Chain A
Amino acid sequence: MDFSYSEEQQMLQESVQKFVMQKYDFYTRGDIIKTEAGYSAENWAMFAELGWLTVPFTEEDGGFGGKAVDLMVMMEEFGKGMLVEPYLSCAIMGGTLIADLGNEEQKGALIPQIMEGAMITAVAYAEQGSRFNSNNVSTSAVASGDDVVLNGAKTAVLGAPNAQTIIVSARESGAATDADGISLFLVDANAAGVSIKAYTTIDGRKAGEVTLTDVRVPATARLGAAGGAAAVLGAVIDRATLAVAAEAVGAMDSLLTKTVEYSKTRKQFGTAIGTFQALQHRMADMFIQCQLARSIVVRAAMILDSDEDAVSKARAVSSAKSRVGKAIRKVGQEAVQIHGGIGVTDELDVGHLFKRVTALDLMFGNAEYHLQRFASL
């Protein structure tokens, strides 16, 4: 038993920490969000240079060979800085889907580009009617000669406005919630028939509603076997779910630290509010929530990296995401409450951390969804 990080994991952690400290203060982040792209291309190039974009890829694919624990280490630090760059959507989700499902040609064409920072991908899997079930796909894929024609509407596509390639889930056969019949297609974001309604999310990222109207892609744009993508898509979403849970652990850490610091300096009734037991116990409870969240995320990361079967892994991810979601509400709401009025203003980072963790609770299914999923598996 050993919960300490390897030297390499420590380096990874320190390197992200340094970046956040030196290059990603709250105001710089705010300026980045205000730009049209909504992320910093300069930062993205640095992520490539630092090797961060290679972390999710195996050594065989030229990557760092990062496991769930490595992703956890990185994402936790990203969470502290509330990064808006599309790391999750491009490197973890898009990249891993291509690596796990793509043929040598597809991998060769895309993975090096992603690792170099020259290609941004996004994954369009959710639909208005699907809620958090990635097997609920109404978007259709119909063969037409050597091509496939895609029609449908995708929602909440994280990073879509920045992506050159969007990976779209579409149904080739079966009923709306069947696992069989779902394929993934590499779609050029500028292809005819693709329209992206871009927006900024509550936590400062770029996302979009993607509509596909008679979008024609060659059959070679399909990732993996026809109709057989559901299992891999589910596993990649599980990995991404662990990643956002880890991100939330980092963000909650910041919320607790900032709240405790604030309570030591803010004076009311002639004394620091941190001396009031009513508040001390609430901060102690925040600390407990942070520790339990961290513990269960470590557990899930270890199980994802183990030889356990797919069901055990899915259960571990759901238990972690559900528990983290519970912690998120407690820690987020209490942080704002203890800050008082300033906590609900746009000018302080605490409110933005609260918004970020709220979005993270939602991502890939909230606490209630994952509790139910855990119970049903």
Chain B
Amino acid sequence: MPSDGPIFETMGGLSAAEKLSSKRSIFAYQLTPLVLVLNPEKAVLSAEDRVPGARLPGRIEVNCEAIRRLCTIRAKFNVRLANSHSYDTHTTLCHRNRRQTVNADFTAEELAFQAEVREFLANEFPAELKQKVDKRIRLSKDEIVGWQKILYKKGWMAPNWPKEYGGTGWTPTQKYIFSTEMGLVGAPEPTPFGVTMVAPVIMAYGTEEQKQRFLPDILESNVWWCQGYSEPNAGSDLASLKTMAVRDGDDYIVNGNKTWNTYGQYADWIFCLVRTDNSVKKQEGISFLLIDMKSPGITLKPIVLLDGHAEVNEVFFDDVRVPAANLIGEENKGWTYAKVLLTHERTNIAGVPRGKRRLASLKRIAAETDDGFGGTMADNADFKAQLAEVEIELQALEYAELRTLAALSVGKAPGPESSILKIVGTELAQKMDEMTVELAGYNCLPFVPEQFEEGFEGEQMGPGSSAAAALSYFNNRKLSIFGGSNEVQRNIISKAVLGL
């Protein structure tokens, strides 16, 4: 019996075994396909019954001392567990697979994909766009569409679409990598209303004709979509919406008004939830209708937000005639379709990459900002603690997102966990807005929103983008309100997760 000799003495020219250079690697090695039986008397670890694909053919003689000790330990687990009802088939002692299970590593393919995304962004994300994003200047419609057309050319416009419709067919991890890399360089994701929101509904419930008519233009960014869901009296309680669509021959006549319509001023089409039946439960009388924004009877009224900019609108429908061919699916089934849309997987809901960019920018600005006592804000004990807290929260959020992603990757449906990501992500973004305001000090007082618009030629107020700090702080109060307010998200958690 070999005692202090080499760990392996091979029999029958085992090249694979030669690669195993430590005792530990015996268990790191993929042993699962083999049935290994330990015979301490003979000090032989043999691989019985060659299994196709097994990497250890034949027999291996092993210095058994360490292994025997280890197997004794393993055996203790197994024997104890064998006594309990759930483990009664553990007859082998030493077949555990010591692979490193818990890990956040990307596979070689995923790393190669990440490199491809990075290279693409380095070469194709226009420098002038990047500059504007960094200076917090609002991008024009043409710039956004131009960037989306670059993505389209690369075949990356629709990460969440299946390949048959011209999507990428990516895995959840690939989508995660893509949106992470985009966020890290500040590249805007495609505006969601077409590609992310209405398209999946058309794919799932639209007719073949509707798919042909609408999907290619969404993919190529030829048509800009906007959303017609909320109404002045239907916010979190969306199902109480009142905009009516009454059938008249081959058309619907639509009357009512929608609000919080983002970028309606750019839009060619709007997807709406409209009431088609008043006599039933509120959820059961809603239909999903696509409406051409050029239709007579539609008027748009901009809503100026606290940052001085009108990124949202109110939309009025006054006897607007809509062809019934624009109805998606069945009449009065719209609520079901909308719910699918609302729960449709949204990548990057937590906003971690953007958060990382903002944190880096906060650190940079803190180091450049006088604290008024001869030092900088980077030395300020309280501000340092806030920076550390934000960084830690980002780490926790990132891993909460990765854990959700890992669950998605093995085919689990996106669950109410996404509510956590929404709540924590938005609160963290708002916290960073507060910190930006704190750093800006007096420099966030000037209210000159137009200096962050395309083509501003007046005198710049406030150094750098400091005058944007308060504007962003005001505007981003929306984060915890839209997309299902954070209170609604808490309702979802308490009902769907905690069963309350």
Contacts and interface: CB of A to CB of B under 8 A. Distances in A.
Given A302-B103, A302-B104, A62 B388 contact: no
Interface string B453-497: 000000000000000000000000000000000010111011001
B399 A284 contact: no
Nearest to B70: A59
A288 B24 contact: no
Interface in A61-94: 62-65, 67, 69
Interface in B387-436: 387-389, 391-393, 395-400, 402-403, 405-407, 409-410, 417, 420, 423-424
Contacts of A263: 500
Interface stretch (A133-141, A225-233, A369-377): A369-377
A6 B98 contact: yes
A155 to B, nearest CB: 27
Contact of B499 (A15, A260, A292, A323): A260
Interface in B96-124: 96-106
A268 interface: no
Contacts of A264: 499-500
A358 interface: no
Interface string B168-181: 00000100000000
A281 B70 contact: no
Nearest to B403: A3
Nearest to A67: B100
A323 to B, nearest CB: 5
9 closest residue pairs by CB, A with B:
A295-B399, A280-B494, A6-B101, A375-B388, A284-B493, A284-B490, A296-B396, A295-B400, A292-B396
Interface in A269-308: 274-275, 277, 280-281, 283-285, 287-288, 291-296, 298-299, 301-302, 305
A51 B77 contact: yes
B281 interface: no
Given A6-B98, A49-B76, A288-B424, A283 B487 contact: no
Nearest to A296: B396
B490 A285 contact: yes
B69 interface: yes
B24 A65 contact: yes
Interface of B: 23-24, 27, 66, 69-70, 73-74, 76-78, 80-81, 84, 86-87, 96-106, 173, 384-385, 387-389, 391-393, 395-400, 402-403, 405-407, 409-410, 417, 420, 423-424, 487, 489-491, 493-494, 497-500
Contact of B493 (A64, A67, A288, A299): A288
Nearest to B417: A291
Contacts of B398: 295, 299
Contacts of B70: 59, 62, 64-65
Contact of B102 (A5, A63, A292): A5
Interface string A136-149: 00000000000000
Given A292-B424, A296-B396, 17 more contacts: A1-B104, A2-B101, A3-B407, A7-B96, A11-B78, A59-B23, A65-B24, A283-B498, A284-B494, A292-B396, A292-B397, A295-B397, A295-B402, A298-B102, A298-B399, A302-B104, A375-B384
A60 interface: yes
A295 to B, nearest CB: 4
A1 B173 contact: yes
A5 B97 CA distance: 12
Given A14-B86, A51-B76, A299-B395, A6 B490 contact: no
A371 B381 CA distance: 11
Contacts of A69: 101-102
Nearest to B176: A1
Contacts of A294: 403
Contacts of A274: 500
A295 B385 contact: no
B103 A2 contact: yes
B421 to A, nearest CB: 10
Contact of B391 (A6, A295, A319): A319
Contact of A11 (B77, B392, B424, B491): B77
B73 A54 contact: yes
Interface in A1-22: 1-9, 11-12, 14-15, 18
A84 to B, nearest CB: 22
Contacts of B86: 14
Contacts of B494: 280-281, 283-284
A371 B424 contact: no
21 contacts: A1-B106, A1-B406, A3-B104, A4-B101, A6-B97, A8-B96, A9-B102, A11-B81, A11-B87, A50-B76, A51-B77, A54-B73, A62-B70, A264-B499, A281-B491, A283-B498, A284-B490, A292-B420, A296-B392, A296-B395, A322-B388
Contact of A288 (B98, B103, B420): B420
Contact of A291 (B23, B66, B395, B400): B400
A306 to B, nearest CB: 9
A151 B367 CA distance: 46
Contacts of B499: 260, 264
